Chains A and B, each alone.
Chain A
Amino acid sequence: MEAFVHQIFSGLANGCIYGSIALALVMIYQATHHLNFAQGEMATFSTFIAWALIQRGLPYWLAFLLTFGISFAAGVLIQRIILRPVEKAPVLTNVNVFIGLLLIFNALSGWIFDHTVKAFPSPFPQESALKTAYFSAHESGSFLVMLAVLLALYAFFRFTPVGLAMRAAAQNPESARLVGIRVSWMLAVGWGFAAAIGALAGMMVAPSVFLDPNMMAGILLYGFASALLGGVDNPWGAVLGGLIVGVLENLLGAYVIGTELKLTVALVLIVGTLTLMPSGLFGKRVVTRV
């Protein structure tokens, strides 16, 4: 029983990371109806930036904040420079751009920071008040960081004029333009948030999986599964989906299929959700009149 509860809690800790990657995916999907396949590699690259800053002797939290800011700015720039020209292009064009970005960031990570596996520090000391019976200090620390970010995001979208404008632009771009909202810039800010949230997930997961250019490849798949399961247009659904996927993956891995086949859970969930329940658990059912 003890072990079972332990599996659930460690699943929740992983689920937090999956949930934030899913949230980053949803952030862009809501506004553009595209899934950013480069989300994982962008997060890895951001984590490398944080690693380099820490190597230079910066204190962890300063490096953390700087990485967050740099990633946000980079996300905005990527949208402005690379995606804006294809805003009105067909879906496949966008998919190509995303795959291009994925390859570019993956190669850049290897080229600049080389392919050796690196240890990444955790800001939460092993023996601290954060350590509980079921969570390690790092697990509960990341949980709290994610929670804080979620609340901050919620407050931003709920209470600020820019947040309101972003919601309006995602819901009804044409009407948004008619009240003078610069919709394309709102997309760029959405990209900024997605990149920054991805960076955060990368920095939180790196201490447990170690840092290398392919660190996020598997995690992105779990992120996709979480986003789809939660309903790909619902940010809260994405986070909940992440927690569910994290727990499911851990329990199935421990008791049913073994740890080697864990990634299959993500793939089965993706295919299963898309075929049986395309709008996910908490998504809007989209009906198109034909």
Chain B
Amino acid sequence: MPEASLLEVKNLHAAYGATQVLHGIDFGLQSGRITTILGANGAGKTTTLRAICQMVRTSGSALFDGQQLVGKATEEVVRLGVAHVPDGRGTFTALSVDENLRLGAHVRRDKQRVVEDLERMYARFPRLGERRHQQAGTLSGGEQQMLAISRALMLRPKLLLLDEPSFGLAPKIVTEIFRILRGINTDDGVSMLLVEQNAQLALELADRAYLLETGRVAVSGTSRELMANESVRRSYLGV
């Protein structure tokens, strides 16, 4: 039986000014699953996430939960339940950890549950709990990444977009973050779309994968299939 599709992207184009970056990509995302987008630098991975959130000029179609995202304002896409952990993490560095997390729940009206969720985040990331009144800019890279992820979760999103969560972090911390992501997916049932440079890690975490090359989908399949694909192995897994 086919599972419910959460996001259906068809013929999506995106451009920065006159520079076309995505040349009509198609992909789908199953509810409750982790999907990854792989590719070299400049292939359009980050742009794909930015296109879903309407942070870049787009055309084509992106249906989320039956709603057309193309043409909406970024804040309205977010209000439908799409949380984005952008590259560079996008934390409010001059605000405290606590304020960052409260901002994550900005659009929610169930104030009582927000307070409970705050405590859940501090339980899941004790390091953030210890630093809740500290300015976010004073945190280490790994802590800031955890803050960015937990801020996104404060939205109670249906879909979490993650842009290179491993970027610039020590291997030990990367392993920890991927373990946490796995937990969020299985415990809370949050669907994820993960963009990663580290193809090995991404394929281990994800159920399904798409490989982008210069703004087009070159290969797609289950993670297992991509791991077995000869050209993927050579170019992206280094084996």
Contact = CB atoms under 8 A, between A and B. Distances in A.
Interface of A: 161, 164-165, 167-168, 171-172, 174-183
Contact of B90 (A167, A175, A180, A181): A175
B82 to A, nearest CB: 9
B99 A164 contact: yes
Contacts of B55: 174, 177
8 contacts: A172-B93, A174-B90, A178-B74, A178-B83, A178-B84, A178-B90, A179-B104, A179-B151
A167 B95 contact: yes
A175 B104 contact: no
B61 interface: no
A180 B99 contact: no
B26 to A, nearest CB: 25
B155 A180 contact: yes
Interface in B35-89: 53, 55, 73-75, 78-79, 83-84, 86
Given A171-B92, A179-B107, A164 B102 contact: yes
Contacts of B224: none
Contacts of B201: none
Contacts of A180: 75, 78-79, 106-107, 155
A178 B77 CA distance: 9
Interface string B91-105: 111110001001110
A77 B86 CA distance: 33
A164 B155 CA distance: 16
A272 B55 CA distance: 40
Contacts of A167: 95
Contacts of B151: 179
Contacts of B92: 168, 171-172, 175
A165 B99 CA distance: 10
Q: Nearest 8 pairs between A and B by C-beta?
A: A180-B107, A175-B90, A180-B78, A177-B74, A177-B75, A178-B84, A179-B103, A180-B79
B103 A182 contact: no
Nearest to B91: A175
Interface of B: 53, 55, 73-75, 78-79, 83-84, 86, 90-95, 99, 102-104, 106-107, 151, 155
A161 B98 CA distance: 12
A179 B155 contact: yes
Contacts of A168: 92, 95, 99, 103
Given A168-B92, A172-B90, A177 B102 contact: no
Contacts of B104: 179
Contacts of A181: 75, 103, 106
A104 B236 CA distance: 62
A116 B92 CA distance: 51
A178 B86 contact: yes
B103 A164 contact: yes
Contacts of B99: 164, 168
B94 A171 contact: yes
A174 B79 CA distance: 15
A164 B104 CA distance: 11
Given A164-B102, A165-B103, A182 B91 contact: no
Pick from A177, A178, A183 the residue with the most CB of B within 10 Å: A178
A261 B99 CA distance: 48
Given A161-B102, A177-B78, 12 more contacts: A168-B95, A168-B103, A171-B95, A172-B90, A172-B93, A174-B55, A174-B86, A178-B83, A178-B86, A179-B104, A180-B106, A180-B155
A129 B72 CA distance: 58
A179 B102 CA distance: 10
A179 B95 contact: no
A200 to B, nearest CB: 28
Nearest to A284: B94
B75 A183 contact: yes
B110 to A, nearest CB: 13
Contacts of B83: 178
B64 to A, nearest CB: 14
Given A172-B90, A172-B92, A174-B55, A179 B106 contact: yes
A175 B86 contact: yes
Given A179-B155, A180-B78, A161 B106 contact: yes
Contacts of B74: 177-178
A174 B54 CA distance: 11
A210 B132 CA distance: 51
A165 B83 CA distance: 17
A112 B86 CA distance: 52
